[in-house]
Structure 1
Amino acid sequence: MDQSNLQHRIMQAMDRNPVCSFATVEGNRPKVRYMMLFHEQMTVYLATDRKTHKVEELEANPHVHLLFGMDKETVSLEGTGKVSDDPELRSKIWNREFEHWFSGPDDPDYVVLVITPSRVEFSDKDMNLEVWEG
């Protein structure tokens, strides 16, 4: 199995699927919600408000799961997340759609969840499964 080719197909799937389901752990139970997905290479970025439960959940347990795709592929990503308020990163992924929730990239409540994948299961439309491990 060619890991670099698989990694490339995973990144293409991220490009095609701007929305993902994002699961954290609250106590000992999973908690899932839809979020806009941004990425650079295999690192995933999710924008959120620092006052949400997502931030508390990541600080208590950094293990996360993302699921996206359907038509051409299905991608299941396991990894760890951390909260970043780095101004450069916030500006980099700022999107005008965020204006519904934030005053701008400098809004003190706007933070970015940085997801580092450890394992990705990639299934093509024929349900052929390949696994990437970082």
Structure 2
Amino acid sequence: MNDKIKLEQEIAKIMDHNKFCSFATVEGNKPKQRYMALYNQGLSIHLVTDGKTHKVEELEENPHVSLLLGYEAGGSKDVVEIEGTCSVTKDDELRERIWNDDLKPYFSGPEDPNYVILEVKIGRIVYTDKDGDTREWIE
């Protein structure tokens, strides 16, 4: 098996076991970070947010983002650092697929106009396993 594909599978497995990530955007010229729920299918990454938050405006001005996952309580002890760009997706099928009961306190349903899915386009991933071995994945 190709080394890149094997690394992709390892990273996806780590992401499957980490339901939250630290998500950083750029506001003005400064980084802004917050925890967010992570939804992934392989290396396809999505985040849910309220369309009325500043995140959407920040991404329109500067789409560059960074995600960090794997070391928080309840997560694996592998660390995944992701750099990429992020945008709001208009994919209604994806909105339906990601929708779950945990979102009910915040949104009326998948048709709620404030229910927004962010899509991360990965440029680079740095993966550090439990033993401290680091590998890099580049698109």
**TM-score of the superposed pair, with normalisation by structure 1:** 0.96
Tell me the residue number matched to 1:22. 23
- Determine the C-alpha separation between the residues in 2 that align with 1:4 and 1:72: 22
Matches for 1:49-64 after TM superposition, within 5 Å: 49-64=50-65
TM-score normalised by length of structure 2: 0.93
* Sequence identity (%): 50
Matches within 5 A, 1:1-134: 2-70=3-71, 71-134=76-139
CA distance, structure 1, for counterparts of residue 41 and residue 26 of structure 2? 24
* 1:121 aligned counterpart, secondary structure: strand
Following the alignment from structure 1 to structure 2, what is the Cα–Cα distance between the partners of residues 117 and 85? Answer: 19
Q: Distance in 2 between matches of 1:132 and 1:29?
A: 26
Shift of residue 62, structure 1, vs aligned partner: 0.5
CA distance in 1, matches of 2:106, 2:98: 15
- Runs of 4+ in structure 1 off by over 4 angstroms are none
SS of corresponding position for 2:119: strand
Gaps of 5+ in 1: none
Question: Following TM superposition, by how much is the alpha carbon of 1:42 offset from its aligned partner in structure 2, in angstroms?
Answer: 1.0
3-state secondary structure, aligned to 2:104: helix
Deviation at 1:76, TM superposition (A): 0.2
Tell me the secondary structure at the aligned position of residue 37 of structure 1: strand
Stretches of structure 2 that go unaligned for 5 or more consecutive residues are none
